Structures are given as C-alpha cells and as structure tokens.
Structure 1
Amino acid sequence: MAPKKGQGAGKGKQPAQKRQRPANPVAELPSGEEGEESWPIWLELESRLIALEAAKGVGGAAGSRPSKARKRAQLKEVASNLSARFAVLEGMEAAQLAHAASTATPAALMGPQAAPGHGDGEAASQGDEASGRESSDAALAPEIASTTQGLSQQWPLPIEHLQRFLVHLHRKGLAPASLQGNLAALAFYAKLKGHNDTTGDFRVRGMIAGWSRERGTIADDRFPLTPQLLVRMGAHWPRVCRDASEVSLFRAASLLAFFGALRVSEMVAASWGDKSFRALTVTDVTITTTCLTVRVRRSKTDQQGRGAVLTLGPCSVEAICPVRAMSDYLACRGPVAGYLFQHTDGTPLTKFQFGTLAGKVLQQLGVGSLRFGTHSFRIGAASTAAALGYPRGDIRSCRESRARVVFLGHSYVYWAEKFARRSGWGPNLGLGNSAVVDWRGKRGMRWREFRGAAWAAAQGQPPDILLVHLGGNDLTAQTGKSLILEILRDFAAWKALFPASRIVWSTLIPRQTWQADCDPQKLNRSRRGVNQEVCRAVSREFGAVVGHPEFGVRRTELYRPNGVHLSDAGMELFLRDIQRGLAAELATLDGEPGP
C-alpha cells in the first residue's frame, strides 16, 4: 500500500489544541501612550502586530518550553503577515488609517541621510551605512511627527503615499510578490469602503514591474519526462508496488498524465478524506478498443467549470499505450462509483502517493538526483510535442478550456453548418480556441421537438451556451401568443436544470413566402410579435439575443427562389450575425466586456 502522508511507525497524530482568537483583533491592541510619536502606517501596523501576539500569549507560561505544535502554530501566524495586516486594517476607521498612512516622509524612506536641518553634522560623521541608517532613523522621528499635520487624511490613498510605502517594503527585502499582496489588501479595503482604488495606478504598478525585472526570473529546474523514460518506469513499477492491481493503477495514472498533458491535481484526489470529487471520476472516462475519451470537468485555469474533453489514441509502443493501460486498470478496478484512480480498498489515490512512488521509481533508474515533480509529466508532454515539430501556439492551447456551444434549430441551422464547413467560416465560426460549436440542425424541425433535442445535447456535458434558432415553422400551425408561452416555458425549464448554461436566442428571420399558402404579411407581423416578447424575456432572465436587422422581404438576393431558405449571400450575413453574438457572449463568460 502506498504510504500515508503524515503517518509513521509508532507515531500517533496528536490533536492540535485550538487557539482561541479574539472576535475583533483590533480590540486587543494596546493603545499608545500620550506623547507617543506618530509613525507611518507600516511601522504602526508592525508594532501593533507585535503587541497583539504578546497579548495573546502564544508563548505559554513563563519559563516553559513551547511544544512543537505551538511552535508550528506560532510560525504559521507570523507567516500570515498579510492576513494579520488586513485584520488590523479592517478594524481601523478610514480616517484613522489615512492619518496613519500620511505620516511618512520622503526622508524616512529614501536613505540614511537626515532631513534638511536635522542631523546634517551627524550624518556626515557616520562611518558606515548601517550605523548611519540607525542614527538617521532616530533623528527622523521628530521630523516624521511634525509632518503629519500638513498631509491628506482621507481616502483614496494618495499615489505618493503608496509609492513611499512600496519603497519602505522594498528596502526591507520583501519580494515583488509580497508587495503585490500588500497592495491587494489595500485595494480590497478601498473597494470594501466604496473608495476609488489607487493601487492600480501605472506608477505604482511600474515600480513593482521594475523591481521584478531587477530580481530576474528563477529557472524551472524540474526535468521533463520522456517516452523513453516512461518505458523504463513501466518495468520498475512492480518493484515499488505491493501487487498487480497497484501496478496497473500507477501505470495508468502516469501514462494518462503524460499523454493527456494533465496536471496531477486534475486526476487524483487531494487527500484521503477529499470528498469534493473535483478530480476525475470513473464516469468521466469512456474507452473503446481504439480510443480513450476523458472529460476534465475543472482545472486550474478553468475555475468556472466549463470542462474539456480529451481524446487519446493508441500508441505504437504497447508498453506506454494509454488506451491499453487504462483498459487493464479498469478491468482490475471494477465498476465501483467514485474517483477514477483508487486502491482496491476504495481509498483514493492522492497526489502525495503518486509523487512519492514515482520519485522512488526514478531513483531506482538513477535519475533521483535530478529534481522531480508531479508537474514533470505535463512538462514532458509539452517538450515531446515541441521536439516532434508541433507549433508553440498549438502546444499552449491544447489544454485551454473551450466553451461548448450547442447551435440548435431547423433547416436554417442545417444548411448554415454545411455552408460554414465549405466556406472560410469553418465549423467553429472563426472563434478559434475560445469555443467549440456543436451543430444540431434538423430540416423541418418544430418547437415541440426542442426539449428532446436540447436535453440530448446536454448529456455528459451541458453546454455553456445554448444557441437557438427555432420557431419559424410553427407560425403556420399556431398563434404567436401560444408559441411565445411555449418558448418561455421550455427556456425556464432548461434554466432550472442547467442554471450555469446561457441561452442565446436568434431572432426569427422574415420570409418572402410561407408554407401552407398562408398570408406572408400576416405571418411576418406575427413573427415580429414573437421576436419582441421572446427577446424581452430572454434578455431579462435567460441570456442574450442575436438579431438579424438587415434581413427583409424586399432583399431578394438574400433568399433562394423558394423565398424561405437563404442564399449564399444570406448565409454569409446570417453567420456574421451569429459569430458576432457568440463572440460577445463568450467575452461575457470570460469576465471581459463584449465588443
């Protein structure tokens, strides 16, 4: 059995004693004495944090040696500097915080020399930088206190004060990422109180960007796995696994991670007690003799849960064929519900177990001295694809989540798909890697078939966008009012079942002639009424609307001779409207303003 993280022989897990935190940390802060000098906000916060920890008594009784658990708790509390700072910020009134922030002076931050008229002779006589900085700080205390009266004491924080704050933290040795965290706390507080966020000013961001360039980048020294190394690893799994079922488990997991370019966190559970089922489950895998299909429901870069579908084919080298390995593993696993990768006793395979045993195998192969991480499988997949000549853009986008769009409708959709595939539009309507369009057009389709077709399209993975162009064929058989009620009833039922799915209504297009020898003018008036009511309801409750304002019965070049279906010019205009509407809706899904 793979080792359990945090357990060892002869050791039991000691229950950690809960620390009682005050309801309001600011209430525990000691008030300053009279005549105490005013310091900048960062110095004031640090002094209050120190007093807060002392007041909470993290050290226990005097003279007693703190336990390991208490040390870990104390280190964790000290490490959460940002959280503690924000707790203090949250309890302070806006005026008090602005007053504290305004106490900084340029001389306090820009170097060891004292302000003009204070300590000039002393600074000149300093021998080294360290001693000069200490004496200068001491000389600057009255100067800082005297400058508080002339500075602004209101939100939003002035840009100059934020710059001084960043300079101070940078001189203390904080990394650019830590500076970003401090700015994030101030930005959140400003937004919480309804003030303008000045932390996004280009001058503030430019300072952090400059320090980041000075710091440079740390090279990723994790080595990538290769297909040759995977073959060698396959022969060594039996040496670290207890039985054949464990061998098939780790072999299938490692090959899926490599050939699917998956993050290990997307495949396996975070811990033994993880019941979130964010990782792959047995229902996410479909396997045939020639194909392995995996549905990744959520990933690091897909927090909204749009999902992605991977299709893996067989490999010519049987030892590292992901289809064969997954087939062997599923035969040993059985049809038990739960996580895809789990042991015979039902406990899930965790990231810690996977990384530990993979590291042991690599150590036996003589590459244990190199830095291995569970991300090495994904890095190896990208490196192998680049070596085979795949474009860099394709490698980067191979696992990006793409929105699923189901385009449902009658013959207009049926012929639009054929026109898009043989023209420059393409099956995805020029949307690139942002979406994949699932065409569901049926000639002669009426609204009573909507539910069956839509629910069938939602099996396995409900669409992010349900694009509907349907209802025109029904105007010859029922009134516009009854069609409106039927449309809105089915849209409400869809939204109740799939609340995350957006409905996009494509308005009904006017026709020169209608079936059953009906009066074209009368049916076109009914069509306008349906469009008006459905557009109003969809825009308010269900999603968005795609209009076709350039179509009209007098524009004969947009129709075929039958006066119903669209010509190539009409299809071009129809698909242009659809593409623009989808692009705007996809931008909304990504949290960006639409065009």
Structure 2
Amino acid sequence: MRKRLRVVCWSDYEARLFSAAFSIAFFGALRVGELVVEDHRDGRSRGLLLQDVQLSPAELRITIRHSKTDQRGKGALIRLPATGATGPCPVKDVNKYLVVRAQGDGPLLRHENGSPLTRHQFAGVMRKAILACGGVASDFAPHSFRIGAAITAVHWGLSAIRIWMVGHSIIHWAGVAARQSAMGPGLGLPSHVRVSWLSRRGMRWSEFLPRIRRQLLLEGPPEAIVVQLGENDLVAMDCLSLRAAIMADLETLQAMVPTAKIFWSKLLQRHFWLGSRCPVATERARKRINAAVSRRIVELGGEVIFHHEISYHAAALFRADGVHLSASGNEAWLGAVVAKLRSWLGL
C-alpha cells in the first residue's frame, strides 16, 4: 500500500507524509486520535507534536501525551526499532518525511502548506490506497492499523489477543452454547484470539472487580473485556446506587488495564423480573442505567454492544423462568457480541 501512495497523493511530499503516518500507526499500534492533532472537549490537544518524536538510526521514540485510555494524562513512551528491511520501517519512513518537512514546532504530521493532517484525510487517503491495491476500502477503517499490528505481532510469535467474557448466567450459558456450536469456545474467531469465559451463575456486581483482580494475577491484562453483569442487582439495589457503582468500577477497571478495550454489553430485558414489586419501575431503572453507562464507557474509549433482538415481547428467546435465555436467545446474544468483536478485530 505504501508504494500506491505515489499514485493517490498529488505530490512526493504528500506521499512521504502519509507513508510516515501509516507507518507510525501500524508499528506503534496507535489510534488515529493519538496520531493527528485534535482539540477535545476536555480542553486538551491530543496527537503527535514534533517535540514528541526523537529519531535515531536505531529507533524512533514517541511520547504519547494523552489518549482515550489515559484519562489522567500520565503519558507513555513508545520505542519503535528500525526493521532493517526493504519494506515499511518507522525509522526510515519518518526520516524521509522529516527531510522535506518545514522547520518549526507544532503538529508532527502536516501538509506542505503547513496545515495539520486530519482524521478525515488520514481515512480518505488510506481508502484510496487500498482501492489502488485492488482491495475493498469499506472493509477497512483507521483502527485497522492498530488491529493489524496486534495480529502481525501474533504471527511473529510475540503475543496472542486475549478476550475475557465476564458476567453471570448469561455469560455461563452463552459459553455452553458456543462450545456446543460450530463456532466453539473461541467464538469462531482466528486461532490467535483466545477467549476466556469468566462467569458465575447468580453473580452480583460487587463481585466484578475482585474477579477481575484474580484473573489479572493469573494471566496479566487482556486486550479486551466484555462485561454482561448488573441485571441481578436491579431488584436488590436502587437505580442511583447501582448506576454509581457500575460507573465507578468501570472507571477503576480502565485505570487497572488502560490498554484493554472494554465492551459494555447492555443490561438485558427479562420476560419476568423475579422479586420485583414493580416490574415497570425495574425496567425503567434498567434503561436509565444502560443510557448512563453507555455514554461513560464510550468516553473511556470502550464500546457498547446492543441487543435489539432480545426483548421481553419475544417470549421464545427466554426459558420458562422468563430470566435465562433459550437456545434462540443465546444465539441472538452471541450474534451481537461476535459481530462487535469481529468489527473491532477488523475481520
């Protein structure tokens, strides 16, 4: 794709600019928001500045000042060694760009006229280059560089992509259904993706962080965590207390594993809310918590998994108890989760 930049870009300068941008995104496994300079609602400017980069013949050092998963602004240092190959190399590609870049501080990645590279331009040129290579542009997005880096690392024998599925009976029975289906416990994902099922039937929200801490001691941090938990607490806790507990613990989780992608699988409807004195009020609390937590999880850099098919009106998706999902219900739940994970993995 790097060679095609000479075709899709209108000048040699632009080709060098995008070659450097794509090389940093891939070898550094960076989000596009960590690469291009943008002003955010919190008043902080994110993205790479010229002073954030140190180049030597052996490596490229990059200081990430802020990112989606670094809400406290601690920053991080990334060291990208020279590949020594004839193909893409972060040291070589950035050096070729810096040779033609005008002197002066400011955004590292900027056009010949001095204007900064934008997210929209990054995505647009990437798609044009993919088309020039004969690929399908709609199958890729800017985050494909980050996912591609993780997958390539696995192929080089560096690490696997680990996903934790955490929660109560929904997770338990979905895991059973997956094992009994053609997709298997790995959800039909590539072999380098390892899925762990961390569940306890009847699990309450107060057990969430202790369970995560135990698993971290055993495995270290995963690349993604899918959370399906909280429905069992809707009857026992008031809406405000449960919402506050969930949001506080998810913020703690993000601080504990800042590199992991957190997926909030929305609290499910139930055909019957056992033990509830007012099922209508319980359903109303579920909706309010889902709305608040969904907004917060996106702010933390996570994603939300929706389950539009699973409605209390669809009695066939529930077992006779009106709480647990039937075979059809498990299939619908797994379908939504797998679709979201495949999108995140760039599959």
Same fold by TM-score greater than 0.5: yes
| 1:542 shift after superposition | 4.5
Q: SS at the partner of 1:432?
A: coil
Whole-Å Cα distance in 1 between the matches of residues 291 and 214 of structure 2? 28
Give the distance between the partners of 2:215 and 2:181, measured in 1 at CA: 25
State how far apart, in whole Å, the 1-side matches of 2:230 and 2:298 are: 18
CA contact (8 A) 1:412 1:566 kept: yes
Q: Matched residues in 1 for 2:282 and 2:193: separation?
A: 35
Distance 2:303 2:270 in 1: 23
The question of 1:431 aligning with 2:177 is answered no
Structure 1 pair 509–557 and aligned structure 2 pair: CA distance change class (3 A): same
Name 1:537's counterpart in structure 2. 296
Q: Which residue of 2 aligns with 1:553?
A: 312
User: How far 1:178 moved relative to its partner?
Assistant: 11
Cα RMSD between the aligned structures?
A: 3.8
Quote how far apart the aligned CAs of 1:194 are.
2.6
* Corresponding residue for residue 481 of structure 1: 240
SS at match of 2:343: helix
Asked if the contact 1:434/1:586 (under 8 Å) is kept, the reply is no
TM-score, length-scaled by structure 2: 0.58
Match of 2:5 in 1: none
Matched with 1:113 is none
Distance in 2 (alpha carbons) for counterparts of 1:181 and 1:398: 20
> Using the alignment, how far apart are the partners of 1:83 and 1:556 within structure 2?
64
Aligned equivalent of 2:159: 401
Q: Which amino acid aligns with 2:283?
A: N
Q: Which position in structure 2 is the counterpart of 1:454?
A: 212
What SS does structure 1 have at the residue aligned with 2:191? helix
Where does 1:581-592 land on structure 2 (aligned, <5 Å)?
581-587=340-346
Structure 2 CA distance for partners of 1:450 and 1:177, relative to 1, 3 Å: closer
Find out whether 1:192 has 2:98 as its counterpart: no
The unaligned stretches of length 5 or more in structure 1 are 1-40, 42-81, 85-174, 207-300, 309-396, 588-594
1:515 match: secondary structure: coil
C-alpha contact 2:221 2:257 (8 A) present in aligned 1: yes
Matched, 1:491 2:271: no
1:410 aligned residue (159, 168, 176): 168
SS at match of 1:433: coil
Structure 2 CA distance for partners of 1:514 and 1:177, relative to 1, 3 Å: closer
Q: State the identity %.
A: 30
Map of 1:565 onto structure 2: 324
Q: Secondary structure at the match of 1:437?
A: strand
Check the 8 A contact 2:271/2:322 in 1, yes or no: yes
Distance 1:454 1:306, change over 3 A: farther
Structure 1 residues 461, 556: closer, same or farther in 2, change over 3 A? same
Q: Residue 170 of structure 2 contacts residue 324 of structure 2 at CA under 8 Å; is this kept in 1?
A: yes
Provide Cα deviations, 1:269-291, integer angstroms capped at 9, x if missing partner. Answer: xxxxxxxxxxxxxxxxxxxxxxx
Deviation at 1:497, TM superposition (A): 2.1
SS at match of 1:405: strand
Structure with the larger helix share: 1
1:542–1:185: structure 2 CA closer, same or farther, 3 Å change rule? Answer: closer
Code of the residue aligned with 1:420 in structure 2: it is: A
Q: What amino acid maps onto 1:430 in structure 2?
A: G
- Asked if the contact 2:264–2:294 (Cα under 8 Å) also holds between the matched residues in 1, the reply is yes
Q: Residues 455 and 307 from structure 1, CA distance in 2 versus in 1: closer, same or farther, beyond 3 angstroms?
A: farther
- For residues 316 and 205 of structure 2, the distance between their equivalents in structure 1, rounded to whole angstroms, comes to 28
Tell me the secondary structure at the aligned position of residue 300 of structure 2: helix
Q: Distance in 2 between matches of 1:179 and 1:528?
A: 48
Shift of 1:548: 0.6
**Larger relative contact order (Cα-Cα within 8 Å, sequence gap ≥ 6):** 2
Cα distance in 2 for partners of 1:478, 1:525 equals 13
Cα deviation 1:421-463 (Å, max 9, x = unaligned): 0112210111112421100111100001111111111113111
**Measured at CA, do residues 83 and 560 of structure 1 come closer, stay the same or move farther in structure 2, by a change above 3 Å?**
closer
Which amino acid counterpart does residue 194 of structure 1 have in structure 2? H
CA pair 524-194 structure 1, distance change in 2 beyond 3 A: same
Match of 1:441 in 2: 199
Asked whether the 8 Å contact 2:276–2:282 carries over to 1, the reply is no
Q: Which whole-Å CA distance do the structure 2 matches of 1:568 and 1:511 have between them?
A: 15
Q: Which secondary structure does the structure 2 equivalent of 1:584 belong to?
A: helix
User: Does 1:422 pair with 2:339?
Assistant: no
* Higher gyration radius (CA): 1
Give the distance between the partners of 1:543 and 1:437, measured in 2 at CA: 18
Q: How many residues align?
A: 233
**TM-score, normalised with respect to structure 1:** 0.35
Aligned-partner Cα distance in 2 for 1:306–1:186: 24
Q: Please give the alpha-carbon distance, in whole angstroms, between the structure 2 residues aligned to 1:177 and 1:554.
A: 56
